[in-house]
Structure 1
Amino acid sequence: MTHRLTVDQARRIAVRAQLLDAQRPGDVVEVAEQIGEIKIDPTATIAPCEQTVLWTRIGWSYESGQLRKAVEDDRLLFEFAGTFRPVSMLPLLLPEMRRWPQRESSRRWLDANARFRDDVIARLRAEGPLPAAQIPDTAAVSRPPDGWSGSNQVPHMLEFLMRQGVVAIAGRDGRHRLWDLADRVYPQDLPEIDEDEAAHLRHERRLQAAGIAKQRSPWTPVGEAGEPATIEGSTRRYRVDPEAVAALDDDAGGRVAFLNPYDGMLFDRPRLREIFGFDYVLEQFKPKPQRRYGFFAHPILVGDRFVGMLDAHVDRQREVLRVDAVHEFTPFEPEEHEMVRAEIHELGDWLGVAVASDDD
């Protein structure tokens, strides 16, 4: 069966899959279970990505300590490859971990540094959890500079061992990761899933989070998960979550949401362009004269349409959320103005600061 969807229906499916409709989720774990990954990024013009992703979905009842509790105390989420993920995803990743790395250059580096690897594991076994800075660099062979990390090889080895499921991130001290042996961080009673089934289940979870996605998208690959779908006016082949289609008539309505530039809703740019008519460009790495909306402007979603960009930052000296601009793609209706204004003040309340504009 091929589902034939209107563009409006496709948008609503995508918005609801990302928990951005009026029916807000109740807690951090519910968000992670539905959207699969919560991106970690320290850029904090307003707040770090992992915090704004959760506030955007849960709203006023979300407090930043809830994420730390879910990760470090309850162990219901785990940190992996720059994201927080629900522990239910871990069995689906283990088959990939066991055959990592696939790249020959990475295998050679690990082989050449077998003793270094053993040193790192032994140090963690004896003293973990530890930050990378407290683990000696005994590498025999260094990886070439990549522009992101220095000459110290310990972070590289820890990342490699995390990818293999040997070590894990036990928590954080501020923004610094604390590393330990995986068998002291991850649950030990996880189900065993073979590689093919795990790959299919990962596709299903990815489609659950997207609602609708192109089958072979390099940004949101979903394989044979879900059911085939077409979207009015498009010749592209999509896959859709049948549960999302079934729930289309159960519409809780829309709301305003400010999306962090690294929010997963924005990840698949071609899908954004085709379904939402939103050609999103992150201007963080553009020279200032070339920026149209601002260094780290947050897209504004109203209902199922992107209507503008919020350029704002927290002024730490004055303890205010300074709104530099609200860019409107087309002039807002009075109701939209009021909804966006109210959400800005909700954001200020959550941050614990007053709201100010350049006119103040």
Structure 2
Amino acid sequence: MMSAITLTKQQARKFLLYYHGLSRDAAYIGKEGILAYIRQVGCIQFDPLNVVGMNHELVLQSRIFQFDRSMLGELLYQDRKLIDYWDKCMSIFPMEDWPFFVKHRKRYQVWCDQNQEAVHRVHAEVEHRGVLCSSDINEEEKVEWAWGPARLSRAALEGMYHAGHLVIHHKAKTRKFYDLSERWIPAELYGSPDPFKTVEDFYAWYVLRRIGSVGLLWNRPSDAWLGIGGMKSSQRNEAFASLLDKKWITEVQVEGLQYPLYLRTTDLDCLDKALSYDPPVKRACILAPLDNLLWDRTLIHQLFDFEYRWEVYKPVAERKYGYYVLPVVYGDDIVARFEPAKQRGKSPLTVQHWWWEDHAVVDSAMKKSILACFERFAAFLGTEFDRQSLPL
């Protein structure tokens, strides 16, 4: 077994922000940069809520130089190098990863087998009519679905999608339009058998994937494990033991943390680069609420002294900050959070509320970098920034 690496909290923070391309200008550029980042972390999480862009867009705008929404749309629905599918909840990941999710598709195949008549009817509709959404199919019968009663046509489309028979052809805002998978997934991927001989192999692969999704992760209960169907703590322990035995992960002791962290052994070179990285100017950026960096909020609290909860689903009286609050990174720290106004058309990007973190040491260089960050963010939204709304 490899000996553990010891880092300070500051070094761990520096690695994570370098690893995610958040501390570097133009770490990732254009469509190739989007692909490179998503391949590195496995997936980015999709969420349809749109205040100043949707979560997956916010993840990319903070990392991809001059990111434009059309880049992601082309990779998903024209180039077909990325795909919308289930990973950590609804996610976006590389098309070449399709074979690794056979076990997920088999779980939904059970529903399809139990509703064969509806599935056959919907399949025939899509086969003959082409791309369809749920309102294009006249199936008014109600069935129980994941969130409650749903029209059979919608349940059938979503069940067939999760079982791998359909893919999302495109979206109109958040409305999904489906087509047959074999029309869009390359044959060598679509018909590929399960690459995992045992469920233990599958869990080990998934644990390794999630460590890479965050950069540094521990073997503790965490939202970072969401979406790994059926994996219990004992199976997660076995996966960690297997990965350590194979030297696919390396233990990292961080000073002041009770539990060890782990990184993929293939990322040791990135760790060396991060620790020697000394930018002439510290970079500021805005994080998405479901950013990969924030998947384990307990870990972020311990490393960054930053406590963050997404409060959109909390009653107003129970919110500590606001409805839609985003963290602000500067250098190797998280220094502030803010609540933006809802973006409507070309209205200026406006900060409704701003909160500095108690540990933030605010100087003119930080203020200049944060202002430049908001100018970039406004450009991503296709508008201008209301400078007067930022209390710097």
TM-score tier by shorter-chain length is 0.7 to 0.9
Query: SS of the counterpart of 1:250?
Result: helix
Answer yes or no: is the 8 Å Cα contact 1:136–1:154 preserved in 2: yes
Residues 93 and 306 of structure 1: CA distance in aligned 2, closer, same or farther (over 3 Å)? same
Moved more, 320-329 or 211-220: 211-220
Provide TM-score, normalisation by structure 2: 0.81
Give the partner amino acid of 1:281: R
Moved more, 217-226 or 152-161: 217-226
Structure having the larger proportion of residues in helix = 2
Distance (whole Å) between structure 2 residues aligned to residue 216 and residue 243 of structure 1: 22
The residue that corresponds to 2:347 in the other structure is 319
The residue that corresponds to 1:333 in the other structure is 363
Give the partner amino acid of 1:201: W
The residue that corresponds to 1:78 in the other structure is 83
| Large movers: runs of 4+ above 6 Å | none
Which residue, 125, 128, 132 being the options, matches 2:127? 125
Distance (whole Å) between structure 2 residues aligned to residue 219 and residue 246 of structure 1: 27
Residues 316 and 247 of structure 1: CA distance in aligned 2, closer, same or farther (over 3 Å)? closer
Residues 96 and 41 of structure 1: CA distance in aligned 2, closer, same or farther (over 3 Å)? closer
The residue that corresponds to 2:270 in the other structure is 247
Query: SS of the counterpart of 2:272?
Result: coil
Whether 1:46 aligns to 2:52 is yes
What count of residue pairs does the alignment treat as equivalent?
A: 350
Which residue, 69, 72, 78 being the options, matches 1:67? 72
Q: Deviations over 1:134-159 (max 9, x none)?
A: 123265x7106836xx6313332222
Whether 1:212 aligns to 2:216 is yes
Gaps of 5+ in 1: none
Whether 1:143 aligns to 2:150 is no
Identity of matched residues, %: 21
Distance (whole Å) between structure 1 residues aligned to residue 295 and residue 153 of structure 2: 30
Moved more, 313-322 or 208-217: 313-322
TM alignment of 1:56-205, pairs within 5 A: 56-59=62-65, 61-81=66-86, 82-97=90-105, 99-101=106-108, 107=110, 110-137=112-139, 142-143=143-144, 146=147, 151-190=150-189, 192=193, 193-196=195-198, 197-205=201-209
Give 1:70 shift. Answer: 0.4
Residues 359 and 146 of structure 1: CA distance in aligned 2, closer, same or farther (over 3 Å)? closer
Give 1:240 shift. Answer: 1.5
Query: SS of the counterpart of 1:286?
Result: coil
Provide TM-score, normalisation by structure 1: 0.87
Answer yes or no: is the 8 Å Cα contact 2:351–2:390 preserved in 1: no
Q: CA RMSD in A?
A: 2.6
Residues 263 and 144 of structure 1: CA distance in aligned 2, closer, same or farther (over 3 Å)? same
TM alignment of 1:270-289, pairs within 5 A: 270-289=298-317
Distance (whole Å) between structure 1 residues aligned to residue 153 and residue 16 of structure 2: 40
Distance (whole Å) between structure 1 residues aligned to residue 99 and residue 75 of structure 2: 18
Distance (whole Å) between structure 1 residues aligned to residue 146 and residue 77 of structure 2: 32
Answer yes or no: is the 8 Å Cα contact 1:17–1:210 preserved in 2: no
Give 1:36 shift. Answer: 1.9
Give 1:317 shift. Answer: 6.5
Give 1:75 shift. Answer: 0.6
Q: Deviations over 1:79-138 (max 9, x none)?
A: 1132211112212112432x314xxxx94x545422111111111111222112112326
Whether 1:25 aligns to 2:28 is yes
Distance (whole Å) between structure 2 residues aligned to residue 317 and residue 243 of structure 1: 44
